[in-house]
Amino acid sequence: MSAIQYTAAELAERFDLLVKGDGGRLVDGVGTLAGAGASQLSFLSNGKYASQLAATRAGVVVLSAADAAGCPATMLVAADPYVAYAKIAALFERLPAAPAGIHPSAVVAASARVSASASIGPCCVVGDGAVIGDGAVLGPHCIIGEQCTVGAQSRLVARVTLVTRVTLGRRVLVHPGAVIGSDGFGLAFDRDHWVKLPQLGGVLIGDDCEIGANTTIDRGALDDTVLEEDVRLDNQIQIAHNVHVGAHTAMAGCAAVAGSARIGRYCMIGGNAGVLGHLELADRVTITAKSLVTRSIREPGEYSSGVPLQENLLWRKNAARFKHLDEYARRLSVLEKDSDND
């Protein structure tokens, strides 16, 4: 098989970029500014790496017009170099083709509907009433429960479980170990013991979403848990029952959203951040890493909580003082009143 190659001019035309330098320069792969070779393309989008530009051996570099001075390589000038690089790098990704059909080791219920163009991998289980759309791919050991739907061109990489009443839209990518449609954490306390609430809803996931490895999305108690189109979830995220996540929102690893919270469109939630239940976040809200959202946010913007990292001795002193914060506030209030009376 011949190597994948593009000229700088071909890439510029395909992605509407400006070429500066040798438009005939061939590119057969991508790499970092520090590690790329003469036949590879790299990019500069973060000023922290600007010092590596002058010494790069990359044949082609994607960058902004503001960073073009001093670049020794052919340049592809982009309004957003990171986006342009992402689109170019995708040309060099070649996933193994999944053969259409059902692997002999798979178990498919008689009432399931599987498209002839879908690929059902080794040891998969497809339950009663499930629907597998055109060109969908189920990797090894996936379990598709009763009344679940996998939309056209969606790909479940491996060991993905759709428990029950889960609907995936078109072109959804689900990484290994994800569990979608499991019971939400619904309990009522009856004098001296817990009573489990039945989880009667489902999960609706829109087109072009991505679900990270070992992420869990619980089905709704009554209404469905919903992810609108183009939501991107990193690894090990918890989405509780009846959560609604707006389109184009992204969450980093280990974030958690409690039950019945509503996240707006175009939001970004940092790693290990948490959103308490029944709260609402407006569109275009950014929550920085390790923050805890304890109230609804009505206006777009960037929000943070938590204590920044400190030298341990200073942190211990401040932690001890924190216990006296209310006392200090009361004493300050008295002093301010005495000052006003003077």
C-beta neighbour count of 178 within 10 angstroms: 25
Q: What are the tens digits of pLDDT across the range 171-215?
A: 999 999 999 999 999 999 999 999 999 999 999 999 999 999 999
Cα gap 23→80, rounded to integer Å: 20
Task: Give the pairing type, strands 149-150 and 131-132.
Answer: parallel
Confidence at residue 96, expressed as pLDDT on a 0 to 100 scale: 82
Cα gap 163→70, rounded to integer Å: 55
User: CA 115 → CA 119, 130, 131, 152, 158, distances in Å?
Assistant: 9, 11, 8, 9, 19
Contact indicator for 256, 237 with CB cutoff of 8 Å? yes
Residue 277: which pLDDT band, with cuts at 50, 70 and 90?
very high
Q: How many residues can be counted in the chain?
A: 342
Task: Give the pairing type, strands 101-102 and 292-293.
Answer: unpaired
Contact indicator for 22, 40 with CB cutoff of 8 Å? no
Q: Amino acid identity of 265?
A: R
∠ CA(130), CA(133), CA(137), 5° rounding? 95
Cα gap 112→114, rounded to integer Å: 6
Contact indicator for 289, 273 with CB cutoff of 8 Å? yes
Residue 1 pLDDT greater than 60, yes or no: no
Confidence at residue 134, expressed as pLDDT on a 0 to 100 scale: 98
- Name the maximum alpha-carbon separation found in the chain: 90
Cα gap 148→129, rounded to integer Å: 7
Residue 95: which pLDDT band, with cuts at 50, 70 and 90?
confident
Residue 340 pLDDT greater than 90, yes or no: no
Confidence at residue 339, expressed as pLDDT on a 0 to 100 scale: 78
Cα gap 156→99, rounded to integer Å: 14
The mean per-residue pLDDT over the stretch 87-106 comes to: 93
∠ CA(317), CA(270), CA(279), 5° rounding? 95
Percent of the chain with pLDDT over 70: 99
Contact indicator for 247, 230 with CB cutoff of 8 Å? yes
User: CA 212 → CA 80, 215, 284, distances in Å?
Assistant: 25, 6, 22
Confidence at residue 337, expressed as pLDDT on a 0 to 100 scale: 84
Three-class SS state of 320:
helix
Residue 2: which pLDDT band, with cuts at 50, 70 and 90?
very low
The mean per-residue pLDDT over the stretch 73-82 comes to: 97
Percent of the chain with pLDDT over 90: 92
Q: Which entry of 241, 244, 248, 324 is annotated as an active-site residue?
A: 241
Q: Facing residues of 196 across strands?
A: 187
Is 241 catalytic? The answer is yes
19 CB-near residues (< 8 Å, 6+ apart): 8, 9, 12, 74, 75, 76, 77
Residue 66 pLDDT greater than 90, yes or no: yes
Residue 44 pLDDT greater than 90, yes or no: yes
Confidence at residue 188, expressed as pLDDT on a 0 to 100 scale: 96
Residue 124 pLDDT greater than 90, yes or no: yes
Of all helices (H) and strands (E), which one includes residue 264?
none
Q: Which of 154, 165, 177, 241 is nearest to 204 (CA)?
A: 165
The mean per-residue pLDDT over the stretch 88-97 comes to: 90
Cα gap 50→71, rounded to integer Å: 10
Q: What are the tens digits of pLDDT across the range 7-17?
A: 999 999 999 99
Question: What is the pLDDT of the chain when averaged over all its residues?
Answer: 95
Q: What are the tens digits of pLDDT across the range 133-171?
A: 999 999 999 999 999 999 999 999 999 999 999 999 999
Q: What are the tens digits of pLDDT across the range 130-139?
A: 999 999 999 9
Residue 123 pLDDT greater than 80, yes or no: yes
Task: Give the pairing type, strands 6-7 and 26-27.
Answer: antiparallel
Residue 342 pLDDT greater than 90, yes or no: no
User: CA 116 → CA 84, 102, 146, 157, 336, distances in Å?
Assistant: 36, 9, 20, 19, 78
| Interior/surface letters 281-292, b for 16+ CB within 10 angstroms, e for the rest | bbebbbbeebbe
Q: Which two tokens stand for residue 214?
A: 């070992």
Contact indicator for 211, 175 with CB cutoff of 8 Å? yes
